[in-house]
A and B are shown apart, each in its own frame.
Chain A
Amino acid sequence: MDTQTQAPYKRFRPERYKPQMALSWWWQKPTYLLYILRELTSVFVATYAVILLLTLRALGAGGEAWSDWLTTLQSPGMIALHLVILLFAVYHSLTWFSLAPTALVLRIKDYTVPAKALVVAHVVIWLLCSIAIAAIVLTR
């Protein structure tokens, strides 16, 4: 976007010092670090999607491929990876829901639903859905 609406100032002291952002800017404030971690969660979520696709492929190949894949999944490395992915996925979800009120302003007549209530509602629905899915998967 062109934001220049007037010619740069030139008359008396036109010198300007342009500060450079340090490459480590994300390390300089805890809030920046939390933001970068939130963005990094996408890498772990994508990794899990790849694992899921590999699982489907092994299932499609059937028999030996499937049992080989199950053995791979049960290795300590894979279990550790899954735990890390779970941690990041939970962090991703919590930050997502906690940011919901920034985009969503719910007005019922003259009453504005408080931000906290929106977050709690989202988290409760998320937990209920998770429990329902867990119940279906684990009781089969």
Chain B
Amino acid sequence: MQKSIKIEVKRYIPEKQPTPFYQEYEIPLEPKWGVLDALTYIKDEMDGTLSFRWSCHMGVCGSCGMMVNGQPALTCATFLEEYLPGPIRIEPLDHFRVIRDLVIDTDDFMGKLKRVKPWLIPVEEKPLSEGENKQTPAELAAFKQYTLCINCLLCYSACPVVGLNETFVGPAAIALAQRYNYDSRDQGQAERHDVLLDHGGAFDCTLIGECSRACPKHVDPTGAIQRYKADGALEYWKRLILPRGAASK
């Protein structure tokens, strides 16, 4: 029985050297450890300078996404046993700027997310006195899947378009735009069309499908984007042909 496993971590320490390098750690192989437990062990027992993000340790916070042997994964939900006999190579999520070691800069994503306006945009504000906005189970089912996104950014790392085209708004942002587009309480489609029909919008997606394979929450951003392409193409022609303001409100 194997007693230890080798972990190769891609490190970036800007004050030490301008380019990343790999560092190896040999850690004891505990049967039920996740990759995140291994990193925690390294930080606690071997090398306190190692930096990485984590929070909930149960696959809902979306903080601990990293490349594990070249695949984007939530390290809390990825187990050492799956990679025997090792070594396991851990790198920061692909296509993101790296701040330090395994910590990526999410500012670009946050900016993109904000642009698709992922919040309810009602035509008129309903006063609180009129009570809640009711939805039927069918109306909820129309968008519920897209609410499960935890912004872990695995889909951005999986997507070559994100890596090749910096302006692409990306899988999660479009899935979250669709989460509101399909919500019966929302009337903000026109504002989101402005972003999603533009350069860097949904039509920059070339349908590789890797985002949906990487998604730990089965949100299916591929589906969200393709469904948007169908709606967006219709909207494009409406805007071209119909008089001003007659297209979707």
Q: Which A-chain residue is minimally distant from B115 (CB atoms)?
A: A3
Contact B169 A3 (CB under 8 A): yes
B53 contacts chain A at the CB level, 8 A cutoff: no
Q: Number of B interface residues at 8 Å Cβ cutoff, please give it.
A: 49
- Cα distance, A112 to B15, chains bound together (Å): 55
Q: In the complex, what distance in Å separates the CA atom of A1 from the CA atom of B169? A: 8
Q: Quick one: CB contact mask for B3-32 with A, threshold 8 Å, 1 for yes?
A: 000000000101100111000000000000
User: In the bound complex, do residue B210 and residue A31 qualify as a contact, i.e. CB atoms below 8 Å apart?
Assistant: yes
Among A39-89, those with CB < 8 Å from B are: 39
Query: How far is B12's CA from A17's CA once the two chains are assembled, in angstroms?
Result: 8
Q: Indicate if the CB atoms of B208 and A3 lie closer than 8 Å.
A: no
A22–B97 Cα gap in the complex (Å)? 16
**Please, what's the 1-or-0 string for B187-223, where 1 marks a CB less than 8 Å from any CB in chain A?**
0000000010011110000111110110000001011
Say whether B246 faces chain A, with CB atoms less than 8 Å apart: no
Q: Smallest distance from the beta carbon of A90 to chain B beta carbons, Å?
A: 19
Among B19, B111, B137, the most chain A Cβ lie within 10 Å of the Cβ of: B111
CA distance A8 to B111 in the complex (A): 11
Q: Which of A3, A99, A105, A107 contacts B227 (CB 8 A)?
A: A105
Does B114 reach chain A (CB closer than 8 Å)? yes
Q: How far is the CA of A5 from the CA of B107 in the complex (A)?
A: 9
A35 to B160, CA, bound (A): 11
Interface CB pairs A-B, < 8 A, 12: A3-B200, A5-B110, A9-B105, A13-B99, A17-B98, A26-B160, A28-B70, A31-B213, A35-B206, A35-B210, A102-B223, A102-B227
- Point out residues on A near B: beta carbons under 8 Å: 1, 3-6, 8-9, 13, 15-19, 21, 25-26, 28-29, 31-32, 35, 39, 99, 101-105, 107, 110, 112
